[in-house]
Amino acid sequence: MSPTRRCSRTACGRPAVLTLTYVYADSTAVVGPLATYAEPHSYDLCEAHGERLSAPRGWEVLRLAPDPSTLAPSNDDLLALADAVREAGRPMVSATRSPGDPQPVVGAGRETGRRGHLRVLTSE
């Protein structure tokens, strides 16, 4: 699990729950739910700093309320993740295997590529 993102305000160590983004063309500051990924031109804020935020004179602050249904993972998300883990853990069985052939060894394969810490394996 990734570490909790912290508030961008100096000396604030509280967890971030909101994201602030500036729309310079419209002179608008947008405060909304915490973004999925930290972006270079946005700021993560704790609840206290998000509520107290004010914009420069002439600017508008637009506050987007989070959708309550997206705050926690849904059962569908959890079931899909569990199914993916189960599928990845199943041994691969070749469709061209004859009934008399020995059972393939799970995990046996030849490395054909590598990208960072990930390896591509092919069945032998």
Hey, how many other C-beta atoms are within 10 angstroms of the C-beta on 30? 16
* Tens of pLDDT, residues 11-20: 999 999 999 9
- Is 34 within a domain? yes
Percentage above 90 pLDDT, the chain: 34
- Is 39 within a domain? yes
- Is 98 within a domain? no
Question: Is residue 30 pLDDT above 90, yes or no?
Answer: yes
Mean predicted confidence (pLDDT) in 79-105: 64
DSSP the chain: -PPPPB-SSTT--SBP-EEEEEEGGGTEEEEEEPPSS--TTEEEE-HHHHHH----TT-EEEEPPPPGGGSS--HHHHHHHHHHHHHHHSPP--TT--TTSPPPPTT--EEEEEETTEEEEE--
Mean predicted confidence (pLDDT) in 62-77: 69
Mean predicted confidence (pLDDT) in 86-91: 69
- Is 61 within a domain? yes
Domain that holds residue 44: 1-89
Count of domains observed in the chain: 1
- Is 105 within a domain? no
